[in-house]
Amino acid sequence: MSPITDDRLEDLSNDEISRYSRHLLLPEVGIDGQRRLKAARVLIVGTGGLGSPIALYLAAAGVGTIGVADFDFVEASNLQRQIIHGTRDIDRPKTASARDRIKGINPGANVVVHNTRLDRENALDIFKDYDVVTDGTDNYQTRYLINDACVMLGIPNVYGSIYQFEGQASVFNAKGGPCYRCLYPAPPPPGLVPSCAEGGVLGVLPGIIGTIQACETIKIIIGGAGILAGRLLLFDAWEMKFRELRIDRDPNCPICGQNPTIHELVDYERFCGISLDSGEKPIDTITASELKMRMDRGDPLQIIDIREPHEQAIARFPGAKYIPLGQMARRAEEFDPRIDAVFLCKIGQRSIFAIRALRGTGYEGRLLNLKDGVNAWATEVDKSLPRY
C-alpha cells in the first residue's frame, strides 16, 4: 500500500507524460504510480556515496519533493564515489551541490535543503513533513537516530550501509516489519568498525547499494510488492555475490516491540559510546603545529602511529613507532610513563580509542591525541605529504 493518499494526487502535464513515458508503459507504475511519485516527499539523509545515486535516480524518476540533509562540505576525496558532486563543487556545501544537480536532472523537482547536523533536537521536526526517509549516513549514532524518529512518526526507513567491498540494504518500519534495532539491538564497541574515511571503500559500491535504496523508495511510494521489509540484502562487490537474510520483528525491541521503553529521542553519541561517560577524564590533544614545535625543540616524545601498514605506505609520519590498535593493551609495558606519548591516525578518531585502551590498563603517563591526525600534519606542517 502506498503512503501517498489519493487526495494528494495531481494530473500529469503533457510534458510530464513525455518525460516519464517509459514508466507509464509499465503496468506496475502507470499513470497512477507516476502521480504518486509526483506527490511524494522523500528525505535523503546524507548526500555522500549513498545519497548521491539515491538523489539522482529519485529526481529522474519524478519524485516531487526531495529533501537533502547534510552539514558537510565537498572535498576532493569525496569525488571517487560521491557522483552528485563535481570538481568545481569542492569546498561548497554538499546540500548546495546536490540541489543544483537534482534541479539539473529534473527542473520540476522541489528540493528542500536542510543544511544542518541531524540530532535529537531537530530530527522529528524535519522528518514529519516526509513520506519516506532514506538513510545515506555512515555512522551508528545517526542510524539509530533515524530509526527511532521514523518509528515514532510511522515513516518507512530505507536503509543502506557500505564498507570497503561490502554493502547491505533493507527497509525498516514498513508493513509491520522490523526496525533497525530489531536487527542491531546495540551498536558495536567504539572504534571496532572504522568509517569509510578510515577503512576505505570501492568507489562503485555506494552506487550499487544507493540505487537499490532508490528502487525500494520508488516501490514504497507506488505501493509495489516485494520491498525489503523483513529482509537484509547483503552484497560483496569483490566476489560479486548477493545474499539475503531474514529479519524478524523483535517483540522485546525497546522502540517497536510490544512494550516499548523508548518514548523520546535519546543521546545517541552516548548510546554509541562516542561521548565521554560522566567521570571519564577528557583526552588531551595536541595540534600538528604544536607537535612540530616540540619535535624541533628536541623534547622527549613517544610518537605512536596506530594506522594500518597500507596507510603508512601512503603517508609516513617521521619518527613514529607502529603499534596496531588491537595490540595497545598488551603492549603497555613498551611505554615510558615519564615521557609524553602522542597518538596519531588518519583523522584523529581511532587514536582516541587507542588512548582509552591504554588508559584501561592503568597506565598513568601523559597521553596526547594528534588533533585531526596525519591529514592535519600534511596541511599545517609538511605540505609535501599527501592527504588521503
User: What sign for the dihedral angle of Cα 70, 92, 81, 21?
Assistant: positive
Q: Which candidate, 282, 292, 297, 250, places its Cα nearest to that of 356?
A: 282
345 included as an active-site residue: yes
Return the sign of the alpha-carbon dihedral for residues 222, 223, 224, 229: positive
Query: Closest Cα to residue 354, out of 366, 345, 364?
Result: 345
Looking at 150, 179, 182, 196, which residue is catalytic? 196
Q: Quick one: cell of 374?
A: 596525519
Asked if 228 and 169 count as a contact pair (C-beta separation under 8 A), the reply is yes
Nine-digit cell string for 62: 519524478
Span between the terminal Cα atoms of the chain, in Å:
45
Amino acid at 288: A
Q: Are 377 and 289 in contact (CB under 8 A)?
A: no
Residue 215 annotated among the catalytic residues of the structure: no
Helix (H, G, I), strand (E, B) or coil at 333: helix
- Kindly report the CA angle at 158 between 157 and 160, in degrees rounded to 5? 125
Catalytic residue of the set 182, 215, 256, 345: 345
> Residues with Cβ < 8 Å from 128, sequence gap 6 or more?
153
CA atoms within 13 A on the CB side of 93: 13
DSSP 8-class letter at 87: G
- Secondary structure of the chain: what % helix, strand, coil (to 5)? 40, 15, 45
- Sign of dihedral through CA atoms 313, 317, 322, 324? negative
The rounded distance, in Å, linking the Cα atoms of 213 and 136 is 9
CB 65 within 8 A of CB 112: yes
| 89-110 burial code (b ≥16 CB/10 A, e <16) | beeebbbbbbbebbeeebeebe
Q: Which residues are catalytic?
A: 196, 345
